[in-house]
C-alpha cells in the first residue's frame, strides 16, 4: 500500500503519457501498415501542431484555435504525403525513407525560422490544465482525460477500420495495392485517409502532451515521436492495438523508473527496449509475420 | 464488345506484347492460349490499365478506354480474376466478396445469394479469413469476388492453375454457367484442351504475337496446336 501510494503519481503520469504516445504511435503504425514506410516526419508534424496552438491562441479563442490546430495539422499531413511520398510510390522504399527524413528536417527548420529559435510558451488550456487530487497524488486534469480520450478514439478507429467500407478498403490496400485497384478502390484516397487519421490523432495528442510542458521548441517532436515509434515497433508495427498497448507499457515503465529515482535512465530504458525487441522478437507483440509487400 | 488493336506493351526494354489485335464479341467465351511468357497476363493487365500500353487502342462497348484509370475501367464493367487468385488473406470470405462490389452503392443481398448459389462452399465459410481457404476455395472466391462487381466482361487469368481435375471441371462448369447468364468471358489458360472445348473463339499467342486464331473446335483439331499445346 505504501509502495502504491508513493508511486501513484508516477503510475498516473505513466498512464497519461502512455495515452499521448499511443495517439502518436497510431500514425506511425497505420502509415507503415499501408506504405511500409516509417514516416520520420510524424513527430515533427506533432510539434507543428503544438506551434499552431501556440500561435492560434494568441489571437483566437480556444474553441477556434483547437479545431484550427486539428485542421492545419491534418492538411499538413496530407500535403506531406502528396508532395514527398506520393511521387515516390514506385520508387525503392529507401528513397521514400530518405524523403521522410528530409521532410522531418524541413519542418524542424521551418519551425526554427518561424519561432526565431525562441521557446514558445504553451498556453494553459482550461479544464485539462486544472489541478486535481487523486488519492495521494496531485496532478492535472489531463492525466485523467488522456487515457479516457485515447481509449474512446482507439475504439472509434477500430470501428472505422473493421466495420466501414473505407476501413475495408484500407485493410485491402494494406494487403495488396494492385488487387485493391482491381476492386475499384482508389488507393491514393485510402492512403490519404491514413495520413488524415494519423495527423488528426497526433494533433489531439499534442494538445494533451504539451499541457504538461511549459513551452515548445522546434525539436519538441523528436523525443515523443521516437518514443511513439518504439511503442509501435514494440507492439508490432502495422498493428493498431499493438501500438496502443506498446505506448501504455512504455509510458508506465518510463515513469515508474523515474519514481524509483532513476530518472536519468528513463529514456535509455525505452531505447534499450527497442534494441531488445529488435533482437528477440522483431515483429513485436502483435506483429504480422515477415510478409514483405512487393 | 472488346476490341484490342495493335496493342504493344513494354517492360523497360523488353517487348512483352508486340502489337496484337483481337476481339471479344458480346456474350461469347474467348480464350487466349500460349506458352509461359507469351504475354497473356500482360495483355489482360493492360486492358484494365494495371500496366500502361506503349501503343495501340483498347475499345470497350464502343468507347476508347486505353490508359484510363483502373477504377474507371472496372466501373465500366470489366473485371479481372488475376493470376494467382490474389484474394485478400486478412479479410473474411464475406468481406472479400463485399470488396468485389466496392464500386457499387446498391444492395448486395441478391448478388451474395447469386454467388453463394454458384459456390455453396463459400457460404459455409463466409466468416473465415480468405488466407485460410484451400487453393481451390481461394480460386472460387476470386471468381465470386469478380462477379460481385456485376461485370459485363470477366477476364480470368489461369483459373484452373494448380487445381485437382475434378475442381478444374467444376470451375469450367461455372464459367459456362456464368456465360449462360449473360456475362462475356475472356479466358487465359494453360489447360488448352479444356479452354478450347469451352470457348467459342480461341487465339494462340507466342512470344508477344498472335499466331493463330479460329473457333475452339477448329483449334482443337489443328495440327500445330495439338503438337504445341495439347501434347499430341
Ligand atoms: N513486371 C515485369 N517486369 C519485367 N518483365 C515482365 C514483367 N511482367 C512480365 N514480364 C515479362 O513479360 C513477358 C510476358 O509475361 P506474361 O506474364 O504476360 O506471360 P504469360 O503469357 O502470362 O505467361 P504465363 O503463362 O507463364 O503466366 C515475360 O517474358 C515476362 O518475363
Ligand atoms: Mg500469366
Q: Give the other-Cβ count within 10 Å of A278's Cβ.
A: 12
Are the Cβ atoms of B99 and A183 closer than 8 angstroms? Answer: yes
Tens digit of pLDDT for each residue in A174-184?
A: 999 999 999 99
Tell me the DSSP string of B109-134: HHHHHHHHHH-HHHHHTTTSBGGGS-
Q: Which domains does chain A have, with CATH numbers?
A: 2-280 (1.10.3470)
Are the Cβ atoms of B70 and A181 closer than 8 angstroms? Answer: yes
Do both B159 and B68 map to the same domain?
A: yes
Residues B180, A176: Cα–Cα separation, whole Å: 32
Do both B157 and B126 map to the same domain?
A: no
Tens digit of pLDDT for each residue in B130-175?
A: 999 998 899 999 999 999 999 999 999 999 888 888 888 988 999 9
Element (H, E) at B192: helix B192-198
- At residue A1 the predicted structure's pLDDT band, cuts being 50, 70 and 90, is low
Within chain B, strands assigned E span 2-11, 14-24, 29-34, 55-60, 63-64, 78-81, 153-157, 184-189, 201-206, 209-215
Last residue of a domain, one of B150, B176, B196: B150
Return the closest-CA partner of residue B88 out of A50, A107, A183, A208. Answer: A183
In a domain, B42, yes or no: yes
pLDDT of residue B232: 62
In a domain, B119, yes or no: yes
Q: What single DSSP character describes residue A164? A: S
CATH of the domain at B43: 3.40.50.300
Do both B6 and B63 map to the same domain?
A: yes
Do both B98 and B71 map to the same domain?
A: no
C-alpha pair distances (Å), A64 with each of A162, A245, B81, B88: 32, 32, 50, 43
Do both B128 and B28 map to the same domain?
A: no
Do both B30 and B63 map to the same domain?
A: yes
Three state DSSP letters for A81-135: HHHHHHHHCCCCHHHHHHHHHHHHHHHHHHHHHHHCCCCEECCCCCCCCCEEEEC
User: How many CA atoms, within 13 angstroms, populate the side-chain half-sphere of residue B28?
Assistant: 16
How many domains is chain B built from?
Answer: 2
Do both B203 and B161 map to the same domain?
A: yes
Q: What is the pTM of this model?
A: 0.92
- Is the pLDDT at A46 greater than 50? The verdict is yes
Do both B112 and B161 map to the same domain?
A: no
Element (H, E) at A77: helix A62-80
Tens digit of pLDDT for each residue in A84-122?
A: 999 999 999 999 999 999 999 999 999 999 999 899 999
Do both B208 and B156 map to the same domain?
A: yes
In a domain, B84, yes or no: no
User: Chain A residues with CB inside 8 Å of B100's CB?
Assistant: 183
In a domain, B82, yes or no: no
In a domain, B35, yes or no: yes
From the CB of B13, is ligand 1 less than 6 Å away? no
In a domain, B181, yes or no: yes
Q: Which domain holds residue B58?
A: 2-77+152-229
Which pairing describes strands A131-134 and A137-140: parallel, antiparallel, or unpaired? antiparallel
Mean pLDDT of chain B: 93
Do both B125 and B60 map to the same domain?
A: no
Ligand 2 centroid – CA B40 distance (Å): 6
- How much is the average pLDDT of A227-250? 94
Angle at A89 between CA A84 and CA A93, to 5 degrees: 85
pLDDT of residue A70: 98
- At residue A28 the predicted structure's pLDDT band, cuts being 50, 70 and 90, is very high
Nearest CB to B71; choose among A174, A179, A186: A186
Do both B56 and B97 map to the same domain?
A: no
Tens digit of pLDDT for each residue in A140-191?
A: 999 999 999 999 999 999 999 999 999 999 999 999 999 999 999 999 999 9
Last residue of a domain, one of B134, B150, B166: B150
Residues A186, A192: Cα–Cα separation, whole Å: 10
The partner residues of A216 in beta bridges, in order of sequence, read A120
In a domain, B85, yes or no: no
From the CB of B46, is ligand 1 less than 6 Å away? no
Measured in angstroms, the CA of B117 and the nearest CA of chain A are apart by 22
Do both B9 and B26 map to the same domain?
A: yes
Ligand 2 centroid – CA B11 distance (Å): 14
Sign of the torsion formed by the C-alpha atoms of A197, A201, A202 and A203: positive
The ipTM estimated for the assembled molecules is 0.91
In a domain, B83, yes or no: no
Return the closest-CA partner of residue A15 out of A197, A256, A200. Answer: A256
Are the Cβ atoms of A168 and B90 closer than 8 angstroms? Answer: no
Amino acid at each position: 500500500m505504501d509502495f502504491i501510494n508513493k508511486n501513484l503519481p508516477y503510475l498516473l503520469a505513466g498512464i497519461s503519457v502512455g495515452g499521448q504516445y499511443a495517439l502518436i504511435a497510431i500514425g506511425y503504425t497505420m502509415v507503415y501498415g499501408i506504405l511500409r514506410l516509417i514516416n520520420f516526419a510524424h513527430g515533427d508534424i506533432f510539434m507543428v501542431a503544438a506551434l499552431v496552438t501556440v500561435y492560434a491562441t494568441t489571437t483566437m479563442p480556444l474553441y477556434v484555435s483547437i479545431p484550427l490546430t486539428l485542421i492545419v495539422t491534418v492538411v499538413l499531413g496530407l500535403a506531406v504525403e502528396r508532395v514527398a511520398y506520393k511521387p515516390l510510390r514506385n520508387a525503392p522504399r529507401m528513397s521514400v525513407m530518405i524523403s521522410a527524413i528530409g521532410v522531418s528536417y524541413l519542418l524542424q527548420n521551418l519551425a526554427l525560422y518561424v519561432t526565431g529559435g525562441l521557446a514558445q510558451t504553451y498556453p494553459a488550456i482550461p479544464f485539462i490544465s486544472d489541478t486535481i487530487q487523486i488519492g495521494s497524488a496531485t496532478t492535472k486534469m489531463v492525466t485523467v482525460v488522456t487515457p479516457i480520450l485515447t481509449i474512446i478514439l482507439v475504439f472509434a478507429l477500430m470501428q472505422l477500420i473493421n466495420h466501414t467500407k473505407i476501413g475495408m478498403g484500407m485493410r485491402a490496400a494494406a494487403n495488396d495495392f494492385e488487387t485493391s485497384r482491381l476492386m475499384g478502390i482508389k488507393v491514393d484516397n485510402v492512403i490519404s485517409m491514413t495520413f488524415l487519421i494519423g495527423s488528426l490523432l497526433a494533433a489531439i495528442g499534442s494538445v494533451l502532451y504539451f499541457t504538461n510542458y511549459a513551452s515548445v521548441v522546434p525539436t519538441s517532436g523528436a523525443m515523443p515521436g521516437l518514443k511513439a515509434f518504439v511503442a509501435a515497433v514494440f507492439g508490432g508495427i502495422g498493428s493498431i492495438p499493438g501500438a496502443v498497448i506498446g505506448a501504455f507499457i512504455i509510458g508506465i515503465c518510463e515513469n515508474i523508473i523515474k519514481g524509483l529515482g532513476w530518472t536519468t535512465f528513463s529514456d535509455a530504458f525505452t531505447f534499450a527496449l527497442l534494441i531488445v525487441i529488435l533482437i528477440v522478437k522483431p515483429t513485436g507483440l502483435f506483429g504480422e509475420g515477415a510478409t514483405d509487400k512487393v | 464488345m472488346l476490341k484490342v488493336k495493335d496493342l504493344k506493351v513494354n517492360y523497360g526494354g523488353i517487348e512483352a506484347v508486340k502489337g496484337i489485335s483481337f476481339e471479344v464479341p458480346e456474350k461469347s467465351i474467348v480464350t487466349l492460349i500460349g506458352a509461359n511468357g507469351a504475354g497473356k497476363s500482360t495483355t489482360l493487365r493492360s486492358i484494365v490499365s494495371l500496366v500502361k500500353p506503349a501503343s495501340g487502342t483498347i475499345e470497350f462497348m464502343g468507347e476508347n478506354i486505353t490508359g484510363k484509370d483502373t477504377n474507371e475501367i472496372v466501373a465500366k464493367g470489366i473485371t479481372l480474376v488475376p493470376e494467382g487468385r490474389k484474394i485478400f488473406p486478412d479479410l473474411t470470405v464475406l468481406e472479400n466478396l463485399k470488396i468485389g462490389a466496392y464500386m457499387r452503392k446498391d444492395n448486395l443481398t441478391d448478388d451474395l445469394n447469386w454467388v453463394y448459389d454458384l459456390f455453396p462452399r463459400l457460404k459455409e465459410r463466409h466468416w473465415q479469413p480468405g488466407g485460410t481457404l484451400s487453393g481451390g476455395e481461394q480460386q472460387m472466391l476470386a471468381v465470386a469476388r469478380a462477379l460481385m462487381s456485376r461485370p459485363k466482361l470477366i477476364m480470368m487469368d489461369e483459373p484452373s492453375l494448380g487445381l485437382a481435375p475434378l475442381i478444374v471441371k467444376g470451375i469450367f462448369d461455372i464459367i459456362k454457367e456464368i456465360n449462360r447468364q449473360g456475362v462475356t468471358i475472356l479466358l487465359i489458360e494453360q489447360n488448352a484442351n479444356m479452354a478450347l472445348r469451352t470457348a467459342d473463339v480461341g487465339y494462340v499467342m507466342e512470344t508477344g504475337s498472335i499466331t493463330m486464331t479460329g473457333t475452339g473446335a477448329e483449334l482443337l483439331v489443328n495440327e500445330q496446336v495439338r503438337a504445341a499445346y495439347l501434347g499430341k
